[in-house]
Each structure stands twice: as structure tokens, then as C-alpha cells.
Structure 1
């Protein structure tokens, strides 16, 4: 028979066999543990509560009766109990909306004839652990977001949204390695003509708007496999995997025409600028990334010095209509 009272139940559990040696010590542990230990009879009456169990019930039900033994747990706790009966196992219960989370371990009791004698509930307030876990998840999410943003910022230009010089150099090195295995490779270097006059006449904000607009025009024109980057200032570089010199010149001319059609509105009216382009092709214009970039820059200089708004290919200059 299961005994009632604050200490009687625990003592009754340990009257047989070797447990006779430790009932007092075990009873002391149960009474002093910070976990609430509550024993409920099959009919729902409280049979035993340790001090932490009493404290928990009074925290949940401030006006609970002073003596709980023999009282109906459903009547005392009311809607705070789970709607469905709990079988043996471990559960997390949320009390008062999301204000408090309890970790609950349920163990079924049997009498000497293996008949149901009640349930033992060991309850721990895990609100702080749950909150800490939620904070950890939030912090991990924030860290992941910040890391993604930093990785993006490390290889992108903030004004135009294009890849930056660092990314370009890394990708160009990869494409040169592929070209060394027999693939075609060309690059185009573009520069906005007479851009300084935009800043001087219309202000730097208008200059930034025009620069971003030209970048959008380039984005709309390049292939998905091409690598487009802001190289610096008002210079852009397009890496064209698989393109021989003739194809690259045709692509450069397409980009030149597209950029010439780009304009932005200012307080003084619409403004637009042309671009010049230099083309370099592997391996004739260079066998390394730096050599290709240098050749493209020299070709760009030729285009600039011979009238602007044109495409130049290593020693050869093409004026429109390619």
C-alpha cells in the first residue's frame, strides 16, 4: 500500500532488500533536491510532495490550500494540467503562455501485485535553459547572417553591386588555368568616357547614379557564365570564358552600344556617357592574369587616345559597326 505524507511515500519505496540501508539518505535527497517531486494516486489525489513540489504548486496556484495531501490534483491545478493524460516518459510543458517551461519526467508506480499505484512526477524549471537555447539559436542565426553579409561584402562593390577587383583576380586566375588546357579566353576592360565632367558639373551623387546605371546596363548584357566586375574608379572588366578575339570584340561592341544608351536624370536634365573598351585574348595578349589585364589596359588606352567611344584589340582598333 502506498503511504501518504511528505516523507512516508519515499520511505515506503525502500523497505525491502538492500534499500533498507539507504532510505534515510534517499529521503533526505528527495526532500532537499531543487527538483519538484510529486506523487499522484490513480484517482488524481496528491500522495506526496517534497518541499520543491509544494513551492512549485504555490507558484502556479498562489491560493492553493496549505495542505495538499489527499487533495485532487486536477481540482487544485485546473487548466494548468495537460489536456491529455501523461504516460511514462519525459515532456516539456509550457505554463502561462510562453512565460515558463517545465521539464517533466513521469514514472508509473505499481504495487506489490503489479497494479497501478499512481504516478511520480519529477519536475524541473527549464525556463532559463529554454531561453538560453532560444538565444543561442538566435545568435547562431545572426552569426550566419553576418557571415553571409561579410562574405558578400568581401567580394562585391557596394555602389554597383558588381563583383570587386579581388573576386575578379581570383576568377581570372581560374579561367587562365582552364585556358592553359586548350580553352579560349578573352577579357574586356571598359572605362566611362569623360566621367570627371559629370562630377564637376552635376555633383558626385549624379556621378554615382550614372556609374550604377552603367553597371546595370552591363549586367543586362553579359552572359551568365561571364565574370563582370568593377575594376576600380569607372573601369569595369568582363571575363569571357570560351571567347576568341573576334567573339570578344563583337561582345565589347555590344557592351559599348548598350552603355551609350544608358542615362540618368539630374536636376539639370538627363546625362549619359559613352565608354571605351580594350580587349585582350589568351595567349597572344598574355599567358597570365596580370599580363592579360595589362594588355587590356593598353588596348583601352589606345581606344581612349584615338577618339573614345570605341573598341581596341591589341594593336588593332575597331570603331563601331563590328
Structure 2
């Protein structure tokens, strides 16, 4: 009977162990495999039905603690049942958690060579594909199997002078202390587990998953510690590669978010002055008006342009005109509150939205901008340019309840400011 492991490397390994081994599914107690020795010495093994209660207790202990022992009734060639001790460990075969039951007992039928197997776990210990070690109560190695020696490239005598913590590589990022092992040896805990970076004799590091379990004597006192060590280097390397890929993806995602924010900002800002553009004004003004209406708060709008700007461009060039507009943007931002919004409306026209500001405050703010801009001396080709602003002010809801109404009212006031001599602030009517 080969069951679920018939076509796997595990089948050959189980078949070669010279003691009866049974593989039982942990979920339902179903016998899924019996090795050759079990089939020879337990002819009824393919149809084995151990005592259900004893097996259930053993499997429950095994699932909880990773090791178990039970006494069950097994069939013999003559059909008369016999009592046999089962020692068990958990393994995973083809994705299914199973118990490996090593059968011991003097009532077992002899092997083909006529000998009894007094220590069935010896073959498992020596041939196991996982490193197994037995530690005394000082934390020193009593015995290690072949796989453990292969993992470290050390012999039994060399390992006998060390503790598990001394095998941890210097490069391990979390160099552990002996606290968990000490608690285990004192009987304060029954199990502990850790993933550590270990180092072979030749200096090569590898990652190991170490599980330590306390063995107690018949009186319940700590007797020894058994350890199982799995080489998990491929998994840790895969995790590291995955973490590096995830880190790069996160960095790229963050960069993409920044780029999207920059592109969005560029779409809403004037590249010359850095102020918001007309598109942003047309999206924002209705929203601010709706909020003012909802909160019963005032809102004022100031429209302005630079006096004689065409003449300035014609005389000094567009570069000088661009510089003057940049200076105006700096003046506006300097005297604005955080909630105020400044936009370049088009050409040399600018608009400021002042949420919560009544007409009186808006006029005062406009006068501050006008005076500050008037006092500027903009350097140009070795000379200094002086410029002025004409400004029109409109208030919600006095001069309109819609954005187009306020813009029209402020534009008309701006036109009157120019007609009446420029360099002044005029309120809409």
C-alpha cells in the first residue's frame, strides 16, 4: 500500500526504513500509508483499525504538541490483537498534515531476518531529512543526526561543545539570547520556535526553522530537549526577493502618485506666475459661492490688470512683461490669507477670490495690493520699471449670486477704474 505518497520521493524514504512506519491523516485518522516493514510484520496493516479512542487522543496530542505516544491494539498475522506503543511526529505530505507512527513493542512479529526492532525511532532519527538533535538540561548537544551534521558541516564532538545559540550567524539581524531555551530547560514552557540565520563551518550562512520541545520523565520533571531544524533558505531568499520587489513597487507607486499630483497641479496652474489658472477659477468659484450661501457668509471678488501693459511689452520686450507679472503674483500671495485664491485670468488680467470677506475688507485688501505693487522697482536692462494696477471689486450676494455675474460686475468696475485715471480701486455697482 503506498497511498498518497506512491509517486513521491517520500515513498522511497519510508520504504527503506527498517521499522514499521504508518502514515495517518491528522484530520480524520485515516491510514494512508504503511511501509514495507509494516506490511511484512503487520499483515493487517493495509486494513489497520487501531483503537479509535486511543488513536484520537494520540492525534489530538500530536496536533497540539507536535509529538505524541499512545498504546493501541494492532492485528497480527494470526489475527490475534497485540498491544503496541506508537511514537509519532507530524509531517506534511503533498499538502496534507499526517502523523508518522513508528511502531514499537515486544509482541510485534519478528522482522524477515528474525530480529525484533528494539528502537524503531533509531532508523527515523538517522535517516530523517530534517535535522534532529537531543540536548541535555545544560543546553548542550547529546546527540545529533546525520542531517544536522550536514547542515553545519560539524562533527558530533564539535557540536558537543556548543549550544544552538552559538550556531547562529554573526550576520543574523536579530541575534537572539538564550532566554527561550533557558525557560524550556527549566520546564517553564514546553515548546519554542524561531527562524534564525545559522552559519556552517565553511562560513556559508543558511536560514533554519528550529523547533524545540521539552521531554519530561515519568514524574513530569524536565529530562531533555529535542530539536528539529529545517533548512528554509530557499523560502527566506524568495521572501527577500519578494520584499525587494514590493519595496520597488511601493517606491514606484509613490513616485507615480507624486507625478500625478504634479501633472494635476500643472493642469490647474499658470506656468509663468505659479498662480491658479482660469480653468481652476471656473471650477472653484461656483463651489465657494455655494459654501457662502450655505453658511450665510460674504464673498468678494477682485479683478485687476496692469496699467499700460501693452506699452511696457512694446517698449521693453515680453521678457520684461513676464517679470512684471511674476512680481505681481508675489505681491498677491504675500498679502493673502490661506483661504484666499489668486488666479491669472488671462493676459495681464488677474482675479482674486476672497471667501468670507465683506466688500469693505476686500477694498482694503485691494488697496494694499495696489500700493505694494506701485512701490515695486522691477529691474530691466539696467533700469527700474514702475507699474500700477487698476482694480474692480464685487461682493456676493450684493452684486450677483452667480460666478458670471460677479465676474461681469468686477470687470465693469475695472473698466471704470481705467477710464477714471487708472492706478485705483473701484467698487462694482
Task: With the length of structure 1 as denominator, give the TM-score of the two structures.
Answer: 0.70
> Gaps (5+ residues) in structure 2?
1-12, 26-30, 36-90, 96-128, 181-191, 218-222
Q: 1:203: how far off?
A: 3.5
- Cα displacement string for residues 9-60 of structure 1 (whole angstroms, at most 9, x for unaligned residues): x969994673785487x79979xxxxx954455446763549xx97xx6xxx
Q: Which residue of structure 1 lines up, in the alignment, with residue 327 of structure 2?
A: 213
Query: Secondary structure in 1 aligned to 2:176?
Result: coil
Q: Which residue of structure 2 lines up, in the alignment, with residue 107 of structure 1?
A: 211
> Gaps (5+ residues) in structure 1?
1-6, 31-35, 58-63, 316-322
Whether contact under 8 Å (2:303, 2:351) holds in the other structure is yes
**1:147 and 2:260 matched:** yes
Q: Which residue of structure 2 lines up, in the alignment, with residue 270 of structure 1?
A: 384
What does 1:3-18 align with in structure 2 at a 5 Å threshold?
A: 15=21, 18=24
Query: Secondary structure in 2 aligned to 1:18?
Result: strand
Q: 1:169: how far off?
A: 2.6
Query: Secondary structure in 2 aligned to 1:79?
Result: coil
Q: Choose which of 167, 170, 174 in structure 2 pairs with 1:79.
A: 170
Q: Which residue of structure 1 lines up, in the alignment, with residue 288 of structure 2?
A: 175
Matches of 1:102 and 1:162, distance apart in 2: 58
Q: Which residue of structure 2 lines up, in the alignment, with residue 165 of structure 1?
A: 278
Q: Which shifted more, 248-257 or 214-223?
A: 248-257
Q: Which shifted more, 165-174 or 275-284?
A: 165-174
Whether contact under 8 Å (1:48, 1:69) holds in the other structure is no
After superposition, the Cα gap between the structure-2 partners of 1:14 and 1:144, relative to the gap in structure 1 and judged at 3 Å, is: farther
Matches of 1:110 and 1:307, distance apart in 2: 99
Matches of 2:405 and 2:134, distance apart in 1: 87
Q: Choose which of 121, 127, 132 in structure 1 pairs with 2:245.
A: 132
Q: 1:183: how far off?
A: 2.6
Q: Which residue of structure 2 lines up, in the alignment, with residue 4 of structure 1?
A: none
After superposition, the Cα gap between the structure-2 partners of 1:216 and 1:23, relative to the gap in structure 1 and judged at 3 Å, is: farther
**1:47 and 2:139 matched:** no
Query: Which structure would you say has the larger RCO, counting Cα contacts within 8 Å and 6 or more residues apart?
Result: 1
Matches of 1:217 and 1:150, distance apart in 2: 26
Query: Secondary structure in 2 aligned to 1:287?
Result: coil
After superposition, the Cα gap between the structure-2 partners of 1:127 and 1:222, relative to the gap in structure 1 and judged at 3 Å, is: closer
Matches of 2:21 and 2:321, distance apart in 1: 90
**1:202 and 2:316 matched:** yes
Task: With the length of structure 2 as denominator, give the TM-score of the two structures.
Answer: 0.55
- Aligned residues between the structures: 286
After superposition, the Cα gap between the structure-2 partners of 1:22 and 1:135, relative to the gap in structure 1 and judged at 3 Å, is: farther
Q: Which residue of structure 2 lines up, in the alignment, with residue 60 of structure 1?
A: none
Q: 1:109: how far off?
A: 4.7
Q: Which shifted more, 74-83 or 168-177?
A: 74-83
After superposition, the Cα gap between the structure-2 partners of 1:176 and 1:103, relative to the gap in structure 1 and judged at 3 Å, is: farther
Q: Which residue of structure 2 lines up, in the alignment, with residue 248 of structure 1?
A: 362
- Cα displacement string for residues 162-191 of structure 1 (whole angstroms, at most 9, x for unaligned residues): 223233233321332244354322211011
Q: 1:232: how far off?
A: 2.1
Q: 1:228: how far off?
A: 1.9
Matches of 1:94 and 1:305, distance apart in 2: 88
